[in-house]
Structure formats: structure tokens, C-alpha cells
Amino acid sequence: MSIIKEFKAKNFIGRIEILNRIGQEKQIDHLPELFFLYDLLTGDKALDVVVENTLRQLLTTNEEETVKKLEEGTDKEKKLSLRVAGEQHFASSAFPIMKLMSIEKDPELLTQALLAMKTIKNPTFLQIAQDFIHHPDELVSAAAVELISLYNDEESLFHLEALVSVAEADHRYEFCSLPTAAAKEGLTKLAVRQDRCARFLVKMTHHRNPTVRRLIAESLVTLDGRVVPFFEECFHLMDLDSRIMSAAILGRIGKRRGARFLVQAMKEGLCSDDNLRAAVYEALGHIPYQPGREILLQALNETEPQILVTVFAALEQHADAGLLLKINSMIEYNARIELLQAVIHAGALNIFDKLYKSDLLKKPLLELLTKSTGLLKNGPFKSILETIVREDERGDLVALTAQRVNAKARSNVYRILVVDDLNCLLLFYQSVLNSMALNLKIDCAQNGKDALNRIKYVSTEDGPYDLIITDMNMPVMDGVQLTRQVRNMQTYRNVPIIMGTTETEHSQIRLAIKSGVDDILAKPIKPELLMQKVETHLLESNTRAWAPQTAVAAIMDKKQGVPQKIKHPTTTVRTLSG
């Protein structure tokens, strides 16, 4: 009996039962009518889905009919048949697919055909895929790139590397295309067994596009210890930005060989830049390695507040009785107030606990804590104070803190969102900003995606943030992507955004400004400059709209109109005896 006639006499449930019976019993003779229903649609979306699923059930066991539809079917039937041919690895579909690729213009059909070719894996597909990697439709191009990634030949590797390299060109680096991301993914898979691919990814560590840069970093971390030798090989030839990224990646990989190399690089004087040393210190915090701990102890002679925060955060991760005793002795001998301040800013609870037991250091620590109202109220020291502070001292602390809180409570509240993937820097931002006379409410996020979630939640509750401070290079979502998405929100068109970065390349600064950043904060961050910029932008935010030329003027040579490299302050490392 005709399905169409049966359908007319049945309700929805009855029609579903008919289709289920046809699928279960593999009634191939009903294929023509099913395709008729599939092409014209029944008018009921749920029923249309069941019709498609029934067709797929029948085609999966009938290679001949599937191939026939590839040659004679409508566009819609061809797309369905391509999916089935790919899923079932129908070898006889190879020639019809190649023929389709030679005459077809519809991007959706081309994409589906390339995806089917991935699973059928016919050697003759390689040339076709190479012909389509530069197709104007990104989905088609990306599918072709995924296909050539399956072939471990010289020409395919050349194409993959070229796609990633060309994405750094002046007219392309601002956005990450789908083919570029696909090429990076293909190289990552090949790098598991191909030294050439692993070495290439290491050399591209500081790709000009922040998103590609993040994707490459994540790939290198997944490749684990396999890529450490290539960092050793390439580090000496890298520019500063690439070395900073390399140190961070080696820290995330967490192998002792990586730590050994970073220690050697420090000893050879390859890390004279402040931001590079900070990246090395952070990396050494992730890797248990005794010479690395010695480097961190020597780093207590650093003078930049942000670098000291990084050092103490790293030391905190290795805190054992012996190390804590050394830190205590060194700080008692060289009782610099900035060291105690950095302990608090880093949220280094084990180190704080040890220092607080020192009669020499207890009082200055208590005084510094009274200035960190945000950390006392919501930060890591909230719980520890309940156990290590005597009642009379706790009373003094509460009273002093209350004075600061009450003084601020009389002024307007400004809400700030700080975004950085390093927890110690989030605490650093909080500590510095909470020391300002302004009444600030500070929220934190560890990547752009987390920040967007907070922005959407807070905006519905209390309205938009008054200021956003974000890092540029972060996992999950970088600062440039975050800024672009924030600027697309109507309520955030004029909210000032400050971007902190170690970047020295002018193209990166220009990209940040173009994405919607108002101001650049060069790392290592100087507290006075941070507070100055925050106060300026908060007070001006209600009277001006975002204008990229304002920020560009701060880093552009007005005479030549060429962005200059950001000048990051440098510090000479002193020895313990110096």
C-alpha cells in the first residue's frame, strides 16, 4: 500500500508507526515515496525528522541506492546521501563524489562532499582537496584543509604550514579564519609523530593573531614533553614576545626538562627582560625542580611589585617547611616592605602564616593588611585571620579596616571587572585598586568567556560595569575577542576598557586598539600608573564615547604616524649578596 495514502488516513502517531515499521523491516521498495516526502516536506517538522531518519536507516544498508542518489538525486537528496556514504565508508561512492566536486557550485554540497571524502579516504581525493583549500567559502576551505590533514606527504604539510604562516600577513592577522584554525589542528595531529610539524608550531608560538596564538599554545600543551626539545632548539632565535609565550607554555607543560632549560636560560642571561623573567618565575612555580626553587629565592631581590607577586605565587606552590624557613630568614634579613606587600598581594597563605609568626614581621604585616580591605573581606586572608590573629590584634585590625571601609562608603561605588588567567595577578589588581580612595567593587574573571558570563549576569542585576581591565593573552578566550564582543553590546559601547599586556610588537597594540580598547597598560604593571589610569577613565567615562584615536595617540609617533614598540621598564636582578 502507498505510504502517502496510508498517511492521509492516519494521525501523527499513526504516521510515526508506519515510518518506524518501514525502517525496522528495511522495506527498500518504499524509498521512492520516502524521498518524495523528504523533498516536499510534510508540513510537520517532527514528522519530517522521522522521515529523514527512516531514509537514513534504509540507505545505510543499501550502498547502490545511496550512490545512485549521488548521481541523480536533487540537491537535498545528494546531501543526505553524502552523509550516509561518509558514515558508512561506501567505497563505490568515490567516483560520483569526485564527479560532483568537478561540477558543483553550491558551498553546502561541496562541504558535505569533502566531509564524506574524509571518512572514505580514497588516495585520489588528495588533489581535489588541495584544489579547494583556497575556496572563497570558509566552510568549504576548512573542510578541504581537514581532508589534506589526513595525508602525511610533503605537499600537504607545505599547504598546512602555509595557511598558518599566511594568516600573519598584514591584511589577514586581525581575525582567525576557519581554514587557519583547521590547518593548526591538522598540524597538531601530525605533530604527534612528525618532528617537522612540532617544530613549526613551536616557531609559531607568538603568532600575530591572538586567537591562533592561543590555539597553538593549547596544542603545544597537549603535545606535552614531546615539544620541549624544540623549545630548547628555537628559544635562542626567538624574539622577546615569543620567548615570553614559550616560558608560559613550558610552565603549563610542567616537565622537569622544561624547568631545567629555563633555569639554564636565566643563568646564560637570556632573560634580562622583566616580563620574560616574570614568565619564567611563573613557569618554575608549576614544576617541582630544586634549581628552579633556588632561582625563585634569588628573585626575592626583584624590585617590580608585579614581578614580586609572581615570585611569591610561584614559591607558594612549592611551600614546604624547609623553603618557608629560608623565605622567613631572607625577609627578616632584608625586611623590605614591598616583599611583605607582595606576599599579601599574591595571596600566599602558607608564606604569610610563617612570616606572621615572626615577631619582627608581624606588625608590618598587620598594618599592610589593613590597607587591603578587599582581600580581608572576600579574599584568601578572610579565613586565615580567624586562626592566626589574636583577639586583641584582630580587634585592632577590624577597627582599622572599618575606618577605611566607612570612609569609602560615603563616596560613589564604581564597579570594575578584572580579567586575567593568573590568580596572583587578579589578587594584585584587587590589592592595588582597593588601596585607592575611590569606593570600588571589584569582580574577577580568568578568561574572556568567564568575563562575558559575568558581564551578562551583572548587567541584568546592577547594570553594566564602570570599567573593564583585561589581559590580552588568555586561554579559552583572549582579550581581543572579549573586547570585540563587549563592544557589540549596546550598554558597553562607552565603558572604558584597559588592556594589560607584555606585547612589544606594534601590530598587537594596534589590534587591541582597533578591537575597542581605550588604553594600554604595559607590564610589569606599576601600581601608581594603574591607579592613575583607573581614576582617569572612571571620572571621564560618563563624558565621552569610545574613540580609538585617543588610545592610539598614546603609543603613536604623531609625526610619522607609525606605532612605536611599547617601552617596558627594565630591572637589574641583584644577587643575594648585592
Taking only the tens place, the pLDDT of each residue in 367-403 is: 887 766 555 555 566 666 655 554 445 454 555 455 5
Question: With bands split at pLDDT 50, 70 and 90, how would you rate the model's confidence at 412?
Answer: confident
Closest CA to 284 of 264, 258, 245: 258
What is the average per-residue pLDDT within 472-493? Answer: 94
Residue whose cell numbers read 569609602: 408
Helices (DSSP H) in 235-320: which residue ranges? 240-253, 256-267, 274-285, 290-298, 305-317
**Rg (the chain; Cα; Å):** 30
For residue 558, name the pLDDT band (cuts at 50, 70, 90).
very low
Strand 556-557 relative to strand 562-563, pairing: antiparallel
Where does the pLDDT of residue 562 fall: very low under 50, low under 70, confident under 90, or very high at 90 and above? very low
Question: Does an H or E element contain 497, and which?
Answer: strand 497-501
Q: Cβ contacts of residue 139 below 8 Å, gap of 6+? A: 107, 108, 111, 178
Q: Which pLDDT band holds residue 169 (cuts at 50, 70, 90)?
A: very high
Instruction: Give residues with Cβ within 8 angstroms of 102, minimum separation 6.
Output: none
CB 370 within 8 A of CB 404: yes
CATH architecture of 413-563: 3-Layer(aba) Sandwich (3.40)
The model's pTM is: 0.84
396's CB contacts (< 8 A; 6+ apart) are 366
Residues 55-110 pLDDT 10s? 999 999 999 999 999 999 999 999 999 999 999 999 999 999 999 999 999 999 99
Question: What does the pLDDT look like over 296-343, one tens digit per residue?
Answer: 999 999 999 999 999 999 999 999 999 999 999 999 988 789 999 999
Q: Which of 25, 147, 20, 152 is nearest to 86 (CA)?
A: 147
**Cross-strand partners of 418:** 444, 469
User: Could you give the CA distance from residue 499 to residue 521 in angstroms, rounded to a whole number?
Assistant: 6
Q: Three-state SS for 562? A: strand
In one letter, which amino acid is 427?
Answer: L
Q: What is the pLDDT of residues 240-256, one digit of tens each?
A: 999 999 999 999 999 99
Cell 632548539, residue located: 233
Q: What is the pLDDT of residue 524?
A: 94
| Short-list 173, 105, 171, 111, CA closest to 142 | 111
All structural domains of the chain with their residue ranges: 152-294, 302-410, 413-563
Please state, in angstroms and rounded to a whole number, the distance separating the CA atoms of residues 390 and 394: 6
Residue 536's contacts (CB-CB under 8 Å, 6 or more residues apart) are none
- The mean pLDDT of 38-53, rounded to a whole number, is 86
Give yes or no for a contact between 251 and 258, defined as CB atoms under 8 angstroms apart. Answer: yes
Task: Give the C-alpha separation, 232 to 229, whole Å.
Answer: 5
Whole-number average pLDDT of the chain: 87
Q: What is the pLDDT of residue 463?
A: 76
**pLDDT band at 556; cut points 50, 70, 90:** very low
Question: How far, CA to CA in Å, does 380 sit from each of 215, 274, 282, 423?
Answer: 32, 27, 19, 11
pLDDT at residue 362, as a whole number: 87
Other CB atoms within 10 A of residue 425 CB: 25
264 SS3 class: helix
Amino acid at 341: Q
pLDDT at 563: 41
Decide if 497 contacts 518 (C-beta within 8 A): yes
ω into residue 524 within 30 of 0, thus cis? yes
Q: pLDDT (tens digit, 9 = 90+) per residue, 181-213? A: 999 999 999 999 999 999 999 999 999 999 999
Beta bridge partners of 469: 418, 498
